[in-house]
Amino acid sequence: MSSMTEYALARRPADWPQPEQLGFGQKLAPWVVSAEHRDGEGWSALHAMPLSEARSPMASGGLQYGLSVFEGLKAYRGPRGDAHLFRPREHAARLTSSARRLRMPHVPESLFIEACRLAARLHEDFLPPQGRGSLYLRPTLFADEEALGFRVAHTHRLALIVTPSSDPLPKTVNLWAESELARAAIGGTGAAKTGGNYAAGLLGLVRARERGCDDVAWLDAARTRLSEAGTMNLFVKIDDTWCTPPLDGTILPGITRDSLMTLMREQGVDVQERGLDLRELATLEREGRLGAAFGCGTAARIVRIASIRSESSTVSFPDDPQVAVLRDRLKRCQEGTESGFSTWACAI
């Protein structure tokens, strides 16, 4: 593992934007943390390099065949100004699952967490004050062997970039139910966090916006049940129960999704994993039993869903103050100010 004494801490430029002006993903921090895996040798030590020097071979399997998986997690400032990662062990486990699906090497939890810690420490000066933003960390595992040919690669790299980001603001979206394209199918890669899934979803986003909506509501391969809201997991309230699609191998097992289910159950709120058919939701709306809906994810935290539209109908979801309460409680957990969830924070 690399020692911090080997590297100079990055400092914010004098003209660096205020946290509220950072947005998401617009400003990349100057260091990349990396390690290499070779068959028969295992993982190298972590090292850092300037972002401007980071390169990938043009013939690599990551670039040519999509042999790449990634994670997205955040570092926050706690109540005393100290920095911590939010649930890195769960992100490490998900990266392992994604890598297994694409026949890529296992990244030990210790290596993953130390890479995240090193990246966060190098850029701690870029981490906004508590409540005003975070460091978004993007660890990516990819095949970088310098050779064409579709096969299991002999050389892989774990590389981690950082983008300082604003705290996400409350947001409301309208979704378009995509009835022609499918994001994932049983037996596919829907549960893996791999770039190909996102690339395949881009046309759905464009089609939704062409129809006057903000994002796409993905249905299952049979085009009947909801699966994801854009790149987010989703929840719908039916009567007094929050419902979310089950993890059937086509849906990404979101860390934010899991955090919210834990928080709701800890408060005695009923949460169920079950299928959500659009026609059923339309019937429930007519019966007055349909409540609020929201999407959730690391980047956006919680986004209220106002409606899901299709060629034949529109299902509308009322506002519910419980969504704002959930959002605020999740934010407190992420920032380390909510008692009872200290194990979710990992000091850098």
3-state secondary structure the chain: CCCHHHCCCCCCCCCCCCHHHCCCCCCCCCEEEEEEEECCCEECCCEEEEHHHCCCCCCCHHHHCCCEEECCEEEEECCCCCEEEECHHHHHHHHHHHHHHCCCCCCCHHHHHHHHHHHHHHCHHHCCCCCCEEEEEEEEEEECCCCCCCCCCCEEEEEEEEEEEECCCCCEEEEEECCCCCCCCCCCCCCCCEHHHHHHHHHHHHHHHHCCCCEEEEECCCCCEEEEECCEEEEEEECCEEEECCCCCCCCCCHHHHHHHHHHHHCCCEEEECCCEHHHHHHHHHCCCEEEEEEEECCCEEEEEEEEECCCCEEECCCCHHHHHHHHHHHHHHHCCCCCCHHHEEEC
Q: What is the pLDDT of residue 7?
A: 72
pLDDT-derived band at 19, boundaries 50, 70, 90: very high
List pLDDT tens digits, range 93-112. Answer: 999 999 999 999 999 999 99
The domain locations on the chain are: 19-167, 172-335
Q: What's the whole-number average pLDDT of the chain? A: 96
64-68, 78-82, 324-328: least confidently modelled range? 78-82
Q: What is the pLDDT of residue 115?
A: 99
Using CB atoms within 10 A of its CB, is residue 80 exposed (0-12), middle (13-18) or buried (19+)? exposed
pLDDT-derived band at 222, boundaries 50, 70, 90: confident
Q: What is the pLDDT of residue 223?
A: 79
For the chain, give the percent of residues with pLDDT over 70: 98
For the chain, give the percent of residues with pLDDT over 90: 94
pLDDT-derived band at 9, boundaries 50, 70, 90: confident
Checking if the pLDDT of 6 tops 70, the result is: no
Checking if the pLDDT of 143 tops 70, the result is: yes
Checking if the pLDDT of 5 tops 80, the result is: no
CATH 3.30.470.10 fits 19-167, yes or no: yes
List pLDDT tens digits, range 26-76. Answer: 999 999 999 999 999 999 999 999 999 998 899 999 999 999 999 999 999
pLDDT-derived band at 2, boundaries 50, 70, 90: low
**Over residues 207-224, mean pLDDT:** 94
Checking if the pLDDT of 3 tops 80, the result is: no
- CATH number, domain 172-335, options 3.20.10.10, 1.10.10.10, 2.40.420.20, 3.40.640.10: 3.20.10.10
pLDDT-derived band at 8, boundaries 50, 70, 90: confident
Q: What is the pTM for the complete model shown?
A: 0.95
List pLDDT tens digits, range 251-309. Answer: 999 999 999 999 999 999 999 999 999 999 999 999 999 999 999 999 999 999 999 99
